[in-house]
């Protein structure tokens, strides 16, 4: 890999020249599109370009809030094509943006294992393992979103060859003792907040059920935590009803948020600063910058979902635990009046009405109901006339 060697030599010689992260300089040297800004409205259609070394089309996503913390990268595989195998030294989470594929994984001394995946599938390829992807369809492309911690790693060891040619194996990660490799994830109520699903393969995050109430964020939403075996990678998915929205909150950087279902928008802003509006639907992606408040709004007639792939624990900040509610979460009675007015305006454009209880705006300790009749799946109320 001549290109890799040259980039490593330059990084080693010049260090952090120009104030750029070492990973950023490697990324820019790959010659494929890099998308920045605050959000990607549609991962299914965003521009990709040839990556000769990988024999596929690709693009890097580095929206504000990801810099130096997490990598997001798109791989596009042509109809019926198979990309060359590669080995990567870090854990990597992969989300299927569109299409159907076949993944094959193996390690030294461990036979190859193949499994099929489809739209909105989520799975982990363990560190130190070989992997190869094939497009299972001959009539459409396959797009994958890769998420890993390479930006952090390259600040410690800048040689890309350490990550892509490292001979160190981890065969034990492909030799599960209890469950079949890449079997569907199973619920692990003893972990986390009782909403954890544990495994390395989630079939369809747009249809994943068996969630528990997410009481801290309001909006009558539900949540499921995603935990991968022997890995610090993970995340959570929140599902909240039509005609509702979540409380404003903030945490650390690097959380890659992908939308598996629904239509809505999010508002992000630094404390005392200007607000950024992020429109979203299935296939959208964004990352709240470090310590920016953000708030999620469902303006569709069906439940909305957002999948948040977490950064390393060191960057999580207060994460989903609000230690100081007064500073890190905005209760409905304390939010700007404009927030509610814009929400009702957006619903009105679609012929819908808000289903937010009036008491939620006057009582900071309002308790949402989570009875059988209020579980996810109920439709939004249409306006008459």
pLDDT band at 183 (very low <50, low <70, confident <90, very high): confident
Contact 96, 120 (CB under 8 A): yes
- Look at residues 219, 224, 289, 218 and name the one whose alpha carbon lies nearest to residue 250: 289
Q: Is the pLDDT of residue 11 over 60?
A: no
Is the alpha carbon torsion for 36, 223, 290, 296 positive or negative?
Answer: positive
pLDDT tier at 248, thresholds 50, 70, 90 = very high
pLDDT (tens digit per residue) in 327-344 = 789 999 999 999 999 999
Q: Which residue has the higher pLDDT, 182 or 287?
A: 287
pLDDT tens-digit profile of 58-93? 999 999 999 999 999 999 999 999 999 999 999 999
Domains and CATH numbers, the chain: 2-174 (2.60.120.10), 186-364 (2.60.120.10)
* Residue 171 · residue 92 · CB < 8 Å: no
What dihedral do alpha carbons 342, 345, 351, 354 form, nearest 10°? 50
pTM (predicted TM-score): 0.90
Percent of the chain beyond pLDDT 90? 73
> Residue 243 pLDDT > 60, yes or no?
yes
Percentage with pLDDT > 70 across the chain: 87
Are 56 and 99 spatial neighbours (Cβ–Cβ below 8 Å)?
A: no
Q: How is residue 352 written in tokens? A: 């819908």
Mean pLDDT of 303-313: 95
- Token pair, residue 366, equals 């309002």
Mean pLDDT of the chain: 88
Assess whether pLDDT exceeds 70 at residue 322: no
Residue 192 has pLDDT above 60, yes or no: yes
pLDDT confidence of 8, banded at 50, 70, 90?
A: low
How much is the pLDDT for 6? 52
| pLDDT greater than 90 at residue 214 | no
Tokens of 269: 């802003």
């Amino acid at each position: 890999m001549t290109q890799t060697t040259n980039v490593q030599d330059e990084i080693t010689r010049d260090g952090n020249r120009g104030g750029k992260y070492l990973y950023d300089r490697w990324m820019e040297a790959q010659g494929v599109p890099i998308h920045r800004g605050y959000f990607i409205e549609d991962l299914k259609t965003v521009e990709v370009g040839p990556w000769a070394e990988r024999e596929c089309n690709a693009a890097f996503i580095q929206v504000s809030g990801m810099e130096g913390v997490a990598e997001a990268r798109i791989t596009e595989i042509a109809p019926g094509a198979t990309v060359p195998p590669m080995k990567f030294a870090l854990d990597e989470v992969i989300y299927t943006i569109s299409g159907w594929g076949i993944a094959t994984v193996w390690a030294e001394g461990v036979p190859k294992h193949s499994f099929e995946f489809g739209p909105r599938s989520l799975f982990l390829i363990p560190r130190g393992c070989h992997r190869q992807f094939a497009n299972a369809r001959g009539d459409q492309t396959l797009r994958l979103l890769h998420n890993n911690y390479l930006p952090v790693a390259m600040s410690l060891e800048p040689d890309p060859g350490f990550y892509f040619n490292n001979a160190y194996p981890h065969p034990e990660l492909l030799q599960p003792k209890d469950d079949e490799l890449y079997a569907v994830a199973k619920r692990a109520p003893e972990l986390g907040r009782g909403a954890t699903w544990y495994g390395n393969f989630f079939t369809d995050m747009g249809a994943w059920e068996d969630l528990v109430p997410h009481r801290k964020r309001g909006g009558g939403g539900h949540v499921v935590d995603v935990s991968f075996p022997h890995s610090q990678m993970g995340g959570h998915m929140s599902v909240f009803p039509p005609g509702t929205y979540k409380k404003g909150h903030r945490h650390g950087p690097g959380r890659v948020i992908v939308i598996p279902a629904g239509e809505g928008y999010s508002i992000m802003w630094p404390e005392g600063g200007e607000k950024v509006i992020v429109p979203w639907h299935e296939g959208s992606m964004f990352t709240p910058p470090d310590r920016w408040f953000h708030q999620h709004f469902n303006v569709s007639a069906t439940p909305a979902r957002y999948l948040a792939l977490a950064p390393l624990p060191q960057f999580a900040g207060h994460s989903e635990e609000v230690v100081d509610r007064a500073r890190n979460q905005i209760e409905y009675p304390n939010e700007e009046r404009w927030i509610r007015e814009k929400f009702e305006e957006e619903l009105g454009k679609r012929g819908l009405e808000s289903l937010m209880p009036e008491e939620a705006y006057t009582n900071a300790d309002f308790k949402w109901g989570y009875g059988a009749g209020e579980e996810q799946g109920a439709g939004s109320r249409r306006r008459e006339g």
